[in-house]
C-alpha cells in the first residue's frame, strides 16, 4: 500500500495524454499531482517542487530528448515512470542504466497508472536498497584493507603475530575512543611519513 500523500509530477507536452495520467492518479486517491507541459522547465520545476515520483510521457521520443531525461533520472534520485509510444532495445537498456523505474512502451491507459506507480516505487526502493548494500560492502572491504595494512606495519615493526597486532590496534582504538579503521589509517599515514 503506497502513501496517498505522495507528491507526483507529470511531465507531458501533450495535454490530453497528461490528463489521462492525472485522472488515473486522482482516481487512485493521489491529490498532490502537478503537471507541466513545457519540457524546458523540468529542471527548475523539480528543484522547486521536489516531487516524490515523476511521470514522464513522451509521444515520439527523440534520442536527444530521451538522453536528457535519462540524465535527469540519474540526477534526481526519485522513482521515475516513463511512457513512450515506441522504443528499441538500446533505449530500454539506457533507461534501466539511468535508473528509470518503469519504462512503459505503448501502454498509456488510465487504469494502468496506479499499478505502474506502485511498481516504479517498489523497483526504485529495491534498487536503492541494493545500491546502499553494495556501497556498504565496498566500504567494509576498503576498511578491511586499511586494517590489514596497519596490522602488517605493526607485525613488521613490533615483531608481533597477526592476532597480537589486531589486539593492539583494537586496544588503541578503544583507549582513544576512535574507530579501528581511523586508528589504522593514522598508523598508515604515519608510516608513510616516516618511510623506510
Q: In sequence order, what are the beta bridge partners of 33?
A: 8
> Judging by beta carbons within 10 Å of its beta carbon (0-12, 13-18, 19+), is residue 193 exposed, middle or buried?
exposed
Nearest residue to 99 via CA among 126, 136, 118, 117: 126
| Helix, strand or coil, per DSSP, at residue 35 | strand
Please give the grid coordinates belonging to residue 107: 501502454
Q: In what order do the strands lie in the sheet with 53-58?
A: 33-36, 8-12, 53-58, 80-84, 102-105
In this predicted structure, the answer to whether residue 47 has a pLDDT above a threshold of 80 is no
pLDDT for res 62: 67
Q: Enter the CATH code of domain 135-194.
A: 1.10.10.10
How far is it, in rounded angstroms, from Cα 114 to Cα 27? 9
pLDDT in tens, 74-120: 777 888 888 887 777 777 787 777 778 888 877 678 888 888 888 88
How far is it, in rounded angstroms, from Cα 123 to Cα 100? 9
**Residues of each domain in the chain carrying CATH 1.10.10.10:** 135-194
In this predicted structure, the answer to whether residue 192 has a pLDDT above a threshold of 50 is yes
8-132: CATH topology is Rossmann fold (3.40.50)
pLDDT for res 39: 72
Amino acid at each position: 500500500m503506497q502513501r496517498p500523500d505522495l507528491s507526483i509530477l507529470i511531465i507531458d507536452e501533450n495535454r490530453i495524454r497528461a490528463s489521462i495520467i492525472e485522472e488515473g492518479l486522482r482516481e487512485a486517491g493521489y491529490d498532490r499531482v502537478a503537471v507541466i507541459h513545457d519540457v524546458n522547465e523540468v529542471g527548475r520545476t523539480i528543484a522547486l517542487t521536489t516531487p516524490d515520483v515523476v511521470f514522464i510521457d513522451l509521444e515520439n521520443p527523440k534520442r536527444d530528448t530521451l538522453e536528457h531525461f535519462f540524465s535527469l533520472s540519474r540526477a534526481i534520485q526519485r522513482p521515475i515512470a516513463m511512457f513512450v509510444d515506441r522504443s528499441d532495445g538500446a533505449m530500454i537498456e539506457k533507461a534501466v542504466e539511468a535508473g528509470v523505474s518503469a519504462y512503459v512502451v505503448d501502454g498509456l491507459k488510465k487504469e494502468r497508472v496506479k499499478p505502474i506507480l506502485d511498481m516504479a516505487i517498489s523497483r526504485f526502493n529495491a534498487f536503492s536498497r541494493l545500491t546502499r548494500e553494495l556501497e556498504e560492502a565496498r566500504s567494509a572491504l576498503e576498511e578491511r584493507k586499511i586494517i590489514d595494512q596497519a596490522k602488517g606495519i605493526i607485525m613488521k615493526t613490533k615483531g608481533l603475530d597477526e592476532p597480537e597486532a589486531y589486539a593492539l590496534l583494537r586496544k588503541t582504538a578503544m583507549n582513544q575512543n576512535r574507530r579501528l579503521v581511523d586508528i589504522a589509517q593514522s598508523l598508515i599515514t604515519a608510516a608513510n611519513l616516516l618511510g623506510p
